[in-house]
Structure formats: structure tokens, C-alpha cells
Structure 1
Amino acid sequence: MQMEYQKLDTTGLTSQEAKKRLNKFGRNEINTTKKISKIKILLSQFNDFIVWVLIAATIISGIMGEKADAITIIAIIILDAILGFIQEYRTEKSLEALKKLSAPTAKVIRDGKQIIIDAGEIVIGDLIELESGDRVPADALIIFSESLKCDESILTGESVSVEKKAFSGKMNDKSNYIYMGCTITNGRALAKVVATGMNTEMGKIANMLQSIEEFRTPLQERLDKLGQYLVYICLIVCGVVTVTGVLRGENIYDMFLIGVSLAVAAIPEGLPAIVTVSLALGVQRMVKKNALVKKLPAVETLGCTNVICSDKTGTLTQNKMTVKKIVLANKEYDVTGTGYEFKGDFIENGVKRDILNNKNSTLHRLLEIGLLCNNSYYNYEKNRYVFYGDPTEISLIVLAEKAGLSLNKYRSYFKRIREIPFDSDRKMMSVIVTNSNSKYMYTKGAVESVLKSCRYIDIDGKVMPLDTDLKRKIIQMNDKLASTALRVIAFAYKIIDSNSYTEDNLIYVGLVGMIDPPRREVLNSVLECRAAGIKPVMITGDHKLTAQAIAKEIKIINSDEMVITGDELDKLSDEKLVSFIDKVSVFARVRPEHKYRIVKAYKKKGYVVAMTGDGVNDAPAVKEADIGIAMGIQGTDVTKEAAAMILMDDNFATIVEAIREGRVIYDNIRKFIRYLLSCNIGEVLTMFLSSLLKLPVPLIPIQILFVNLATDGLPAMALSLEGAEDDIMTRRPRDRKESIFSDGLWFKILNRGMLIGICTVLSFVYTLVKFNSDITLARTVALSTLILSQLFHVFECRSERQSILNLGIFTNMYLVISVLISFIMLISIIYIPYLQGIFSTKPLNTSNWILVLLCSGLISLISSLINYKRGR
């Protein structure tokens, strides 16, 4: 955006001066509420009823003389707390990093040039540039404005936008000021910062901004309820085990301690923490792929998404417009060259034409309009041209430069008096310019809109009436160009001899056809969407035929799917739109308010909708969508605020990658739920079956806690780091109401839990009988069987569809390492004399290990072989 404020001092601060002021006054930030300290996070790990009961029992144990047991149990509790602390602290740091990534930016003038900086680096005295959709980064005095309106509802509660104007000399005139946190809803401005951070109006009511909502995902809520049910079930079972043992004559205190220890081991208290960590780590992976997820519930919803409504320009296409065709009333030119290079020729009937030396031609007038009815510009920086502004406008500058018309020369010769900005209703932009001789209105915009305002046509420099037949021919030419995937813009002008600046009685000049080629990676992403059961939908303001041509090229539209325009949408009732919306793949010539209707219709039809947006008017649709997606480069602050996810590269392919990652995260959550619950059921059943069969207690409290420490933490975390399975994007989208235990997961959990418990009891009984009731040896074998059963099972949990033999053991090295650590812990307490005394274990010989391996690994091996043979 280049503003017309030549008489103002627009050099701004120097970088050096800005740095001094930043060091002196601090960052432009509102002080947030205090973060939870590390100590509080650590102490919160002990804030659990079961843990307190265990601590109390341990204290009693110490008083009764079992000091070694008491110390060891306390040590295990502390180790568990440390693991929980690491998980929670890592989550806090991950979320904190994400908040920093989503920090707003601002356009400022430093050293005479416009740059984009972190809004926190703005200082008093900075010149900031703002336009429709921008969030005001600091309190500022307006020194230049054009059609400026600002939404101050965050400060005043008034929903109506307030008109603003440049400084009038009255220091207390609030219409001359804009305030931090408010939103520019119309026009543009240059303003000088007068207050930052806590000294702003927003800073004075900072408490309004500190109630940041913390989201819990629906999955986390469901798992919390599941955890509550499991607590009740485990407490009942543990109570039965305790009472049964006492009735059999076991020591009351010992059985109480066993019951409490079993409850601690059986209840998956780490499940919510692992879910949170898994989500946070997944979000971090998405960031590396240019998708910034602002709200954790979006991660779950991504896996359910079955419609992606995407803007065309910049998302499906490269957003680098290049003019390819110019059509005047009686002449056509092909334009060579690509991108933003100033190299290219004008070809008429196969002959290269010199445009520069024919200044009175209609073509020359069209190029002049393209230069002056334009807010984009370029600078020569570091041996190359750097462009700023809208790609369509940049392409018009490049077009004129190819003809030899200099942007800087024309903008110094013609002075802009006024701009009538483009809006989505008029679909036109006009400027009033003057030179030493005359005053002109120059207009560009959508062909239909411009033609409505034209009564005359410029033919070879002669102005003639624009009759119905000529209009029909122009529209036919527009359709012809649009059908070849060219975006078409019309140009018009008039000479002004009064102060009436209405867009009427214009003189039509010609058409320009430009192309914004599709991104190379989009075709594969669209095909991937279709394979995954996701319907891609294009939404664009372009002509129907242009949109259709691009959509066909990237396979968004099939022969049996429809294209609907904004005008056709206006004629449809909501009910009619819903009835056939699943047959529509392209919406053309739409306005932002149409997006809201489109989202509502798809949702009413039962789809889970992702919707992209960038402008202010896109915010309602983005917020209404199941997954609102804002553009990180072109998107306004308002849209980013409403969105659940921000595309940092504005690329459609990134949406597909985010959906893939969302599916992976959900898959991994199911995997460690399967692992944790089946293992915990196995632990409970081991104790419960032994009690029912009137066997000696197979595991003492310290051994139960050790199982919990060795198997529940690291392996479960490693499962959350599993990569995508090969078929992840060929499955149908998950139903959002689907239970986390769907597709027989509960059966798998119960089945394997029962087998783990039965095998552990069998190994215990066999050792008791074989080795003359050597209870210490039997418990060591049971302990080893229980732990190894879980460590073997964790590899099975890597996939619900494929055998570990298909996946490969070493494809998740995090899991391999975590299992090795757990196994080393087991070996340590069996063979290190000091630890033997603490954990009541004894060394195992070869025959013992054979029994342990048979009981713990045989089922996993058989299961893996069966699945491998099935090709799963």
C-alpha cells in the first residue's frame, strides 16, 4: 500500500532510534496474568486423592518399622511426579511457543521504508500504516486518512464502526485517534504512535484482555469422564481384593497397602496428561508444516473434516498474476513474459508493437489507468525489485513497465486527489487524479460492474456511445478469455469538470486478461483429498468460466458437479441451497457474505466444514466453520482472531497436511489408550484372579508401583510419536460423534487385558508349584511376566490395521529406546543386590526366563503372525 501523503513527513523513525526507545520504554505489550510457577506444577502432581492415601499408608508403614519399603514407595511416587511434571511443563512451553508464533504484526515506516515488524516492537513516534481489516497495534494520532472507519467495540461496547479523520489541531478530538486492539473496518490511514503497552487505553483496562479462554478438547472431556468411571471400578475391585485377602487371614495393613498400591497402578492418571502432550506435540509438528493451530479442539475436528472450502487466489494458485492478453474495442494484443519481470513484448497479429512512442493511443490510456488506479508499488532492494501490494495491481505495474511507462514518473506527474476504494458490492476501484491540464477519474474492476457505469467507448482515441451491441461483444470477449482460465478486468475513465466524483458516464477503454497459475503441489493435494473422502470446493470472486477452467485443471470439479455464481446464490432459498449443495464444487463471483451461507448449508447437510478466509468480511464464515482457516500472509487480524487455524504460507496443500496430521494425532491417542487401559486391566486382573483363586498375593505394593513406573510413562509417550500409517489418507473421514472406542477397540483392550492377567497368574502358579512355594521367586517371575507382557504389547499397539512385522520394529526408535529403558529397570531390580532387597526379588535362571518369555511374548507373536499372514 502506497499512500498519497507527499506533504507529510513520512520518513518515520530510524532503526537506531527505534531500538533506543524500545530499550527505554519496553515492548508494546499488555501485561498478562502470572504464569504457573514450576514449583506449583510440580506440587500439583501430588494433588490427587489416591496419592495422598498412598503417602499416608507409607507413613504408617514407616512407623511400623518397614522403613525400606516406605522410602522406596515415596521414591517411586516422586519419580512419577517428576515424569508428570516434565509432561505438563513441556506442554506449557509448547503452548507458550505457539502463542508467540501467533503474535500480531504491524506495518511501520522505518528509515523511510515500509517494513513489517512484530507489533511488540512498536515504539512511541513510529509511523504505522493501516488498512481495512488491520488490528490497531498501539494508540496513535491519525495524520492521514481516507474513508477511515474503526470498530471500537472492544473498548466502548458499541458495535457500529466509528468514522475517523486526520488530525485537525484539536488534541482532545477522539475522532483523530485510533486505539490498540480496535479494528480498521474501512479505508486506510497513516498514524503516529502516541502510547504503547500498558500506557494505551487498552492497557488501562488490561483485565479485560487477561481472561484468555483455555480450551479443553471434547476428547479430553470424554476421557475425564472415562477416568472417573475407571476410578470407581478400580476402587471397587481393589476393595474386593483387599477384603478377600483379609478374609483369607492376610494382614489387614498389608492388604490395605496392596489395595491402595493397586489402585494407583490401575488408574490411568497419566492419560489426560499424555493426551494433552500428544495434542501439543502434534500442533508443533503442524507448525513445522506451516499450519498454526490456535485452538486444540481443532486438532480433533481436522480428522473429521470432509469438505474444504478454499479461496482460489493465493491458496490454490501462486498469487503471482501475469497479464497475457489486452483487448481494446478493435485491437487485441498478446503480452509475453512471466511473473514480475519487466521483460516482455506486445504482439498484435504476430507483430511486435512499440507502445511507448504512441502516447495518444487507447492502449496507452489503459496502461496509464493501470498504473494510477493502483495502490501497489515496488522498491529496488539488494539488486532486485521487491513488490508490495495486491498481485493483480502488481501485474498492471509490470505490464506498464514492459511498455516503457515508469511508475515513479507517472505518479509524480499525476497527483491523486481522492480514492474510492474497491469493495465487494461495487467490485470496482476508482481514483481521482489531476495533472497540469485536466482532472480524471480512472476506474478498474469486474467487467459487468464497469460496463454498468459506462455510456461511452474509446475507439482509436475517439469517444463514441456504448450501445447494446458493443456491450454484448465485450461480454462475449470476457467469457472467451475467462474460459481459458484468464482473470479479466475492465478499464474505464472520464474527464471531470466539476467536484462530482460519481462513478457514472464513464468511457470504456478495454479488457486485460491475466493468469494466476495453480500451485504445482495443489493437484496432488486435491487428488489426496478425494482419496481421503474429502470434498474440495473452490470459492472465488473470479468469473464463472475462469473459475471453472482452473477447477478443471486441478481436478476440483468433475463432469457431474456444478458451478454456482453469487447472483445465482442470491436467488436461492436456504432450503434449496441445502438440497443440492453436495453437487456443487465451485462458487464463482461470490461476495464474502455468501461464504457464511455456504458454510451453513454444508453443515446443515451434515458435513464437517473447513473454510478459508482473509478479509474482514470473511470472519463470520471462518468463525461459523467447524475449522476456520485464516491466511497467514494475506489474512487480516480480524480473520486470524476468528480462525481455529492459520496457514502461514496461504497454501491449500498445507490444509491437507494439517488434516493428515490431525488424523495421525487421533490415531496415536487411540493407540496409547489401548495400551494403557489393557495393561492396567491386566494388572488389576492379576491381583483379582489370585484373590478369587485363594492364591498368595502375586505382587507386593512396591512391585505394583514399580510396574506402573516402568510401563505407563515412556512407552505410552513414545506411542504418541508414531508417524502416519500408509493408509491414513485413504480412509473415510471419522464421524465426529464416533466414540474413541469404536471399531472394536474396547474388545481389543478387554481381550488383551484379560490375557495379560491370566498369563501373569499362570506364570506365578507354575513357579510356586515347580519351586516348592518359593514366593519370592514366584513374585519375581510374575513381575517379569507382567512387565514384559506390556512391553511386547506396546509394539502391537503401534497399529490397529498392520502387524509389527509389516511396520518394522525399528521404525519408531523412540518406542524402542523407551522399551529398552523399561527392560533395563526390570533387570536392575532383579540382579542388583541392593535393589533386590528393596523390591523383594531374586535372580532368574534360564528356565525362569523361558517361562517368562513364553507367557508374556507368545500371544503377541501369534497375533503378529496372524495379522502378517492376512497382509495387515
Structure 2
Amino acid sequence: MGLNDKEVLELRKKYGSNEITRKKSNTFFKILLESLSDPIIKILLIALSIKIVFLFKNFDWYETLGIVIAIFLASFISSISEYGSNKAFERLFEESSKLSTKVYRNGKLTTISSKEIVINDLLQISSGDKICADGIIKEGSLQVDESFITGESKEVNKKIGDKVYSGSTIYKGSAKIKVTEIGDKTFMGSISSGVQEKTCESPLKTRLRVLAKSISKLGYIGAFLASFAYLFMQIVVKNNFNLELIIETIKNIPLMLNYLFYVLTLTVTIIIVAVPEGLPMMITLVLSSNMKKMLKDNVLVRKLVGIETSGSLNVLLCDKTGTLTMGKLNVKYIIAKNGKCFQNKNELKCYEKYYNILTKSLYLNNESVFDNDKIIGGNTTDRAIKRFTGNMQINDEIINKKLFSSEDKYSMVQTKDYYFYKGACEVLLEKCQKYLSLSGNEEKFISKSFIQSMVNSYTSKGYRVLVNAYGKNKDDLVFINIIVIADTLRPEAKPSLDLIKNAGIKTIMITGDAKETAVSIGKELGLYNDKSIALTHNELSVLTDEQIINLYPNLCIIARALPQDKSRLVSILQSYKLVVGMTGDGVNDALALKKSDVGFALGSGSEVAKDASDIVILDNNISSICKAILYGRTIFKSIRKFIIYQLTVNVCALILSIIGVLLGISTPITIIQMLWLNMIMDTFAGLAFSYEPPLKEYLNEKPKTKDEVILNKYMFNQIIVNGTYCAIICLLFLKLPIIRHFIRNSEGDKFLYTAYFALFIFMGICNSFASRTHRLNIFAHILQNKVFLIINAFIFFAQIYIIYYGGNLFRTYGLTFKELLFCLILSLTVFPIDYLRKYILKKRNIKIGV
């Protein structure tokens, strides 16, 4: 029976192994090259090219090298993060793909890896197994879980000649299956190939592209103004506006060439200053550091953009089965004849006689069994009832039994004393002439209408409802109770959905279940109320996209959903500029997961769903989606905080470059000092902001729109006010005679320029504190980001070290304590100015914050 080794080798050579071909992840080198397409990196590359052209004129190796290092660090760190996350997911995929199966080879039944299955293999499948290839049943019968395809938590009966699919789980039965398709040719494989396409651009990437254009315009305008001012000063002002002298200067070719070379160098320098070279690195640091934090919370981020996109979600399309529910049936209620409901068997124990008969009936009339505390065999209903009763010591011998069939609609077991029945109400209730009271007495029915109405009520809500009965005579039964069975909600589902709702995100539950079932579950979850709308696939399919959008504010549930419904909803909502999230675990979710802005797949879901997702929830906990949303918002805010800090320093430097020329101030900061400011300080500051804590208050805010500019009015206000103030302080520091009373006179103003360098760095540190919070208290939540404190302390003491030991390299000379204290006090004036700015905005009821 089965194939022999020679046939296996030939078939494997002809058809390949039983593996789904996955799109190869990019090599590190390719990812590195692709990272250079970042808009801000492009600006740096242009600046680098201009610098290289004029490098030999000014021999400005330090600044040119600085740009190279900035590009390298931003690209290298980004590439390492993406490459590492890809490898982490590949390891997860390989681990989850390690399945084994029983197969007949060389006339014997043996266990092999699922990857070794070939066409025409004969598999032996039984309860609890997972089918690893598509095939045809040759012998036996099965009850199969195909919810990963259909979205319905119902078993599907399979008989000889029926097709079974890779990824299905066996509820009950055993069978021999002849393999017909493996790997990419399976149903799961065909779906997988359809979802391995390029992911849409994240909202943050869209905003950054706009920001890069704005920054470049700012740089060009600033460069033009500074260059014009410099040429105007040299050609017109220095010649006292004398036309003859002006013309004579213009005709002086060597002199004009020197002016032009200086102007070109000044232009490139201003463009470099205007571009926040720490920004791409900051984004990468924040995304990658939070990805590691989330991995510790059992959340695997496959794509870095998945974190930040989750913070911008407007709507979450949430698959019911396996996401909001456990994906398995449980007994919800045991209802006695008088209508009293019991939710667990402990509540029944006070009715001893009633309890004994009820549990014996449920336990014996059941095809599932306990195996080392694990319930195996039986159908989903049997296993649900067994979970309710637990493992009991009932030793009554079963003399005869009748299995449940769709024709008779009941199951029965016979013991020495009783017949125990379980089945449809319409079949069993008419056989019951008596009922068992809670006191354990058999009493005659006066009316059965109350029981029938209860059954109808629960059935209309989509519950699975059965009647439990017993009797000494099979034609004269005693009604025991109603059994109400439902798919169990995850305990964390409702509070998580409440948090998501509070965050301004709309949730639409999508399920393959009947509308009544879906509405009932929706009410339990708090998703559905009197104004809510629930649609089935048939109702949805006849609506136009515009009609669906009109219903969107009240649309909460899609029942009897098909895969195309999910994909269509994603497309419609995205077309109206909504950021769409999708959760799911089955093959039927894969296309919608891929198409959505951010897809959340459950760790226990199919490999196809994981492959299509942005984030894999390893512990199947929907509360992790809340964490992802919180982290996403924290990341966006952290990036905005860093942009405030970065552009405040850049605006200050830009004003100094333009106004300084008009005031006749030559560049007071050397190239090496600029590298310290632009590279070391920006890099450390980026790292400091990347550890900003995720505050729960962020979930009280509405999500950002997809096309919202990254620089809002509050940010612009802080950048201009604080940047201008710092520039004014710096200009006054260099030009006011009173400053000479605090700083020693020296040849070449070496102490003045050292103090100026210290002032600039100290003001940068103060601005970082002002940028990290919109509160009047700049130290709010500061202890939750100890990295921020450590890094700023390091920058401060490193600057002190440079002042005293930088020497000729940094062009610094030791300051006295009085001089150093003066610079520090002057830099601290940033705090009252920023406090006043925030206070005025608050008093005017202007929205503040990032």
C-alpha cells in the first residue's frame, strides 16, 4: 500500500516538494540601495554632489565627509532594521510550517514531514490532524474545519470522493486521502501567490514626501536670499552704492570668481543646514526600537510601516472567527424548564438530583473524550458540552448508541437504566410528556409553549440550541434542559474594542455566520445598537460604492461575508481617504489583509494570512491591536517632537546664515563644530526621542487623516518662535558690546567664539526639553524616558569636555566658571520664552500639541 521510495523520488523530481513558494526577501545590499530613494536622503545626495564639485576649490573635506556619514548612517540603520524584521518573520514562518503527517510508504504506515509529501501519496488522517496537502478521500469519512476558507465555525462533512484542502483540521473521523495537489498547486498555495504583492505606501511616507519638498524649497529660498545678501554687501554696499565702483568690481573677474565660489559654498551649506539629516535616522530608530518592544509583547512587526500606520487607523475591519471569538463553541447556558439559566456546572450542584441526571446525560451521550486533559474526537457540539461537564468519573456501561445524523436530528445512548437523548427541539420535545424539576422530581407537562418560545428566542439570535432528555422508555421521555451553545467571545475582546472606539476608530465586524448570530455577538461586544446596520453578502452586493459610504457611519456588521466583500470594503474605504486596518487568521482574509493599510494576522492563523499581514499577533490577543495603535501614535508623536527640535535648530542656523551676512558676521562655528552639532547631537537626540513613553492619553485622541501634513500649526509656531528667539540671542551675543563684560577679550575673539559654541549647544539641549512635551511643565513624564535624560546629560558633559580639551581641532579654549555659567544661564532663557508661548496659546484656546 502506498508509494515506494523510487516512485517518491520520481514524483518529487517531477512535481517538486510540498512547499508554498514564498516571495524571496530582498538581500541586504538591495535593501540598502532602495533606502537611498528616501526623499530626504535624495536631498542629501544632491548636496553631496554639489560639495564634491567644489571640494577641491575649498578643500572642505570635513563637511563633505560629514554628509557621507549622514547618508551612510541613515541608510545603513534603516536597512539593518528591515532586513532583520524580514529574517525574523522567515524564522516564524519556518517554525509554524514544521508539521508532520502519517503516510503509507513501502506498504507501511510511517510519519514524515509535511514538506516530504508528493503527488499520489496515501495519507492516513484522523481526529485532531491537520491536512497538509489537497486530496480526495479514498476510504472513510470526516468532519472537517474549513473555517479558514469559509469563515464559518461549522464542521463540514466529507465522504469518499470528496475533496479536502491543505490547512483543514479534522474534527471527527478517520480517512485515507490520495494527494492530488501539493505546494503552490493547492488551494492555499493559489491564494498565497495572489497576496505576495507590493504593499501600499504608509501615511507617514506620504507625509514625509511632502515635507521633503517643503524643506528643499525652504533651503533654496534661504540659499538665494543669503547669496543675494552676500553679493549685495560685497558689490554694492562696500562700494558705497557708487555705480562706477560697482561696475569696476563686476569687471574684476578673479574677484568675482572668488565671490561666486564663496556664494556656491554658502548655498550648499545652507541647503545642508535646512535639511534635517537626522530625520530619516530618527524614523528608523523609533520604528525599529518600538518593533523590538512589541516583539516582547508577542507582536511581530513584519513591516516597519505597520507600526506607524496602525496609529493612523480610521476604521478596523475585524474578522470575527478567531479574532473576536475563540473560534470554538462553548455551552453558554443550561436552561431548566422554569427558565432558570446556569452558565457553569458549579451553579447546578445545589440541585443534587437534577445535577446528577443532567451531567450523566451530557457526559455519556457524547462522542468526544478526554485524552490527557485534552478533548479529542466528536463534533464541535460534543466538545463544547464536554468542556462544560469536565472530566467526570461516570462508569455506567453504554449498551447501545445512535450517532447524530442530519436526517434524525438527535443522538442517543442506552445504559442499563436509561435512554439519554440530545438533539433538535422540534424532534425531542414532542416525545417528552414530563419534565425534570430542579428538585429532581419528574412532573407532567401542562404546556410546552414556554420552552418552545425560549428555543425560538435563542435560535433567532443565531445560537445553536439543543434539547436534553432521558427516559426509561424511548417513547416516553423526560425533558431535562435546553442547551444553548455559542462561539466563545475572547475575554479581552470587548474592553479592547471599547479602547479602539475611544481612540476614534470605527470597528466593522466581518463574519461568515448568519446575520442573527452576528448581530447577537455584536450586541455582546458593544458594536451593535438600535441605530446600527448589519448587512449580509447578498445585501452588500446589490449596493453601489456610494450607497455603502452613505451607510458607513452606522455600518457595524457584515454577515455571510465572502472574501471579495472584505477586499471591496477595503478598497471603498481607502478611496475615501480612510486608513483601513484588517484583522484575520484564515486564507479567506489574506487578500484583504494585503490590500489594507495595515493587516493584523493571528499567530495561530494560516501561513498565507501571516504572509499577507503587516503585523502578526503571536499570542492571538486582540488587545495587542490596541498596543499597536498606541505605539503607532506614540511613534508619530515622537517623530513630530524630533522634527520640532531639529527644525528649531535649523531655523536658528538659517537665520544666522542670512542675517549674519548682512551684519558682517563671518561663520562663527567651524566645520568640525558643525559636524558635532549636526551629526553627534542630532543622532543622540533622535535616539532620545525614540524612547518617548506610550501614554494611554494618546488613545483619547482622534486619528490623524491620511493626507494630514506632518508639520501642523502648533509645530510651526514652536519652530518659528523658539528658532527665532535662539537666533536673536546668538546674534546679540556676537554683536552687543555688553557681552564683552562677561567674556574675556582675546586675539581673534577665541574665548567669545568658544562661549558662542557652548551657548549654541546648551540652547539645543534646552530646546530638546521644550520639544518633547506640549505641557507647561517641561518635565512631564520625563522619568518614563530615562534614555532622554542620559543622552542629554552625555551631550552636556561632552560639550564641557570639548570646551576644555577640544584644542585646535574644535577651535575651543578653556572658559572660566563665570563665563560658562553665563552661557548656561543665557541658554536657560529658552524655557520661560517657551512657557510664555504655550501659555498664550492655551489662553486663546488654540489647540496645542503634536
Q: TM-score, normalised by structure 2?
A: 0.69
Displacement of 1:53 after TM fit?
3.6
- What is the deviation of 1:803? 3.1
1:714-793, aligned counterparts within 5 Å?
714-766=684-736, 770=740, 771=745, 774-793=748-767
Change in Cα spacing, 1:815 to 1:95, as seen in structure 2 (3 Å) is farther
Closer, same or farther: CA 284–26 of 1 in aligned 2, 3 Å? farther
Amino acid across the alignment from 1:823:
F
Aligned position for 2:820? 849
Write the deviation string for residues 758-809 of structure 1: whole angstroms up to 9, x where unpaired.
Answer: 222222223797347834334333332322222211112212345313333x
CA contact (8 A) 2:85 2:301 kept: no
Work out the CA distance in 1 between the residues paired with 2:462 and 2:774. Answer: 48
Change in Cα spacing, 1:193 to 1:527, as seen in structure 2 (3 Å) is: same
Cα separation, 2, equivalents of 1:825 and 1:843: 14
Alpha-carbon distance in structure 1 between the residues aligned to 2:610 and 2:447? 44
Q: Is the 8 A contact 2:333 2:485 kept in 1?
A: yes
8 A contact 2:309–2:598 mirrored in 1: yes
Query: Residue 345 of structure 2 corresponds to which residue in structure 1?
Result: 337
Does structure 2 conserve the Cα–Cα contact (< 8 Å) formed by 1:792 and 1:857? yes
Residue deviations 1:137-156 (CA, integer Å, cap 9, x gap)? 67999877869999xx9xxx
- 1:742-767 CA distance string (max 9 Å, x none): 34322322333322322222222237
* Partner deviation per Cα, 1:74-93 (whole Å, 9 max, x = no partner): 37844773465245423432
Match for residue 50 of structure 1 among 42, 47, 50: 47
What is residue 205 of structure 2 aligned with on the other side?
Answer: 220
Contact 2:314 2:703 in 1 (8 A): yes
Of 388, 393, 396, the residue aligned with 2:385 is 396
Which of residues 222, 225, 236 in structure 2 aligns to 1:237? 222
Matched ranges for 1:138-217 at <5 A: 213=198, 216-217=201-202
Instruction: Show the counterpart of 1:425.
Output: none
Which residue in 1 is equivalent to 2:792? 819
Q: Distance in 2 between matches of 1:34 and 1:626?
A: 20
Rounded Cα–Cα distance in structure 1 between residues aligned with 2:613 and 2:35:
32
2:465 maps to which residue? 489
- TM-fit CA distance, 1:708: 0.8
The residue aligned with 2:240 is none
Change (3 A) 1:652 1:429: farther
Change (3 A) 1:765 1:101: farther
SS at match of 2:708: coil
Residue aligning to 2:355: 352
Which residue, 547, 568, 592 being the options, matches 2:561?
A: 592
Consecutive unaligned residues of structure 2, counting only runs of 5 or more, are 6-11, 104-111, 150-157, 235-257, 415-420, 436-445, 470-478
- 1:80-119, CA deviations, whole angstroms, 9 ceiling, x for partnerless residues? 734652454234323432454455734734699xxxxxx9
Q: CA deviation at 1:690?
A: 0.4
Distance 1:678 1:30, change over 3 A: same
Question: Does the C-alpha gap of structure 1 residues 709 and 320 become closer, same or farther in structure 2, counting only changes over 3 Å?
Answer: same
Contact kept in structure 2, 1:258 and 1:700, CA below 8 Å: no
1:650 to 1:460, Cα distance in 2 relative to 1, 3 A: farther
CA contact (8 A) 1:318 1:517 kept: yes
* Partner-residue secondary structure (3-state), 1:489: strand
User: Do 1:149 and 1:184's aligned partners in 2 also have CA atoms closer than 8 Å?
Assistant: yes
What is residue 674 of structure 2 aligned with on the other side?
704
Contact in 1 for aligned 2:144/2:169 (Cα 8 Å): yes
Q: CA deviation at 1:337?
A: 3.1
3-state SS, counterpart of residue 860 of structure 1: helix
Contact 2:303–2:615 (CA under 8 A) maintained in structure 1: yes
Q: 1:406 to 1:614 in 2, by over 3 A?
A: farther
**How far is the alpha carbon of 1:731 from its aligned partner?**
1.6
Give the secondary structure class of the aligned counterpart of 1:754.
helix
Greater helix share, 1 or 2? 2
Contact 2:172 2:379 in 1 (8 A): no
Q: Is the 8 A contact 1:241 1:687 kept in 2?
A: yes
Matched residues in 2 for 1:121 and 1:826: separation?
Answer: 61
Aligned 8 A contact 1:42 1:82 in 2:
no
Per-residue CA deviation, residues 541-596 of structure 1 (Å, 9 max, x unaligned), is: 478599658845x65556x54475759967995677765653465x49x3233964
Aligned counterparts, 1:500-519, within 5 A? 511-514=482-485, 519=490
Q: 1:220 to 1:855 in 2, by over 3 A?
A: farther
User: 1:323 is paired with a residue of what secondary structure?
Assistant: strand
List per-residue Cα deviations over 1:212-243 (Å, max 9, x = no partner): 63654232133134324423432453355356
Q: Distance in 1 between matches of 2:377 and 2:775?
A: 50
Aligned to 1:478: 455
Q: How many residues end up aligned between the 2 structures?
A: 750
Q: State the alpha-carbon separation in 1 of the partners of residues 195 and 309 from structure 2.
A: 27
Name 1:830's counterpart in structure 2: 803
Residue type of the alignment partner of 1:49: I
2:618 aligned partner, one-letter code: M
Give how far 1:691 is off. 1.0
Distance 1:74 1:451, change over 3 A: same
Percent identity of equivalent pairs: 23
Deviates more, 1:271-280 or 1:71-80: 71-80
* Contact 1:30–1:197 (Cα < 8 Å) also in 2: yes
Any residues of structure 2 matched to 1:281-320 within 5 Å, and which?
Answer: 281-308=289-316, 310=318, 315-316=323-324
Which residue, 278, 281, 294 being the options, matches 2:286? 278
What SS does the aligned partner of 2:829 have? helix
Change (3 A) 1:511 1:415: closer
* Contact 2:425-2:467 within 8 A present in 1 as well: no
**Shift in Å, 1:686:** 1.4
The alpha carbon displacement at 1:722 in A equals 0.7
Deviations for 1:477-497, whole angstroms, at most 9, x for unmatched residues? 2255579x994334799xxxx
How far the C-alpha of 1:606 sits from its partner, in A, is: 8.3
SS of 1:650's equivalent? Answer: coil
For the structure 1 residues 334 and 35, does the alpha-carbon distance in structure 2 shift closer, same or farther, using more than 3 Å as the test?
A: closer
**Residues 176-232 of structure 1: CA deviation (Å, up to 9, x unaligned):** 9989xx99999998769999999x999x99x98998636542321331343244234
Distance in 1 separating the partners of 2:644 and 2:737: 30
User: What CA distance in whole angstroms lies between the structure 1 residues aligned with 2:572 and 2:451?
Assistant: 35
State whether residues 309 and 612 of structure 1, in contact with CA within 8 Å, keep that contact through their aligned partners in structure 2. yes
* 2:464 aligned partner, one-letter code: V
Q: Aligned in 2, Cα 1:868/1:391: closer, same or farther, shift over 3 Å?
A: farther
Q: TM-score normalized by structure 1?
A: 0.67
Deviations 1:218-277 (A, max 9, x none): 321331343244234324533553565466567765664454344334322342343244
Contact 2:298 2:617 in 1 (8 A): yes
Match of 1:105 among 82, 92, 96: 96
Change (3 A) 1:331 1:729: closer
RCO comparison, higher one (Cα < 8 Å, 6+): 2
- Do 2:35 and 2:75's aligned partners in 1 also have CA atoms closer than 8 Å? no
For residues 833 and 98 of structure 2, what CA distance do their matches in structure 1 show?
64
Amino acid at match of 2:293: R
Q: Deviations over 1:340-397 (max 9, x none)?
A: xxxx9789896334469xxxxxx95x8777x34xxx76532xxx43669987552233
Change (3 A) 1:781 1:324: closer
Shift of 1:831: 1.9
Give the deviation of 1:680 after TM superposition: 1.7
CA shift digits 1:665-704 (9 cap, x unpaired): 2211211222222222222221111012232232333333
Q: Which runs of 5+ in 1 are unaligned?
A: 1-7, 14-20, 63-68, 113-118, 154-164, 169-174, 339-343, 357-362, 421-427, 436-441, 445-449, 463-468, 494-507
1:288-345 residue CA offsets vs partner (Å, 9 max, x unmatched): 334444455544443343444545665445667553655699999968537xxxxx97
CA offsets 1:807-828 (integer angstroms, 9 cap, x no match):
33x4312222322333344334
Secondary structure of the structure 2 residue equivalent to 1:512: strand
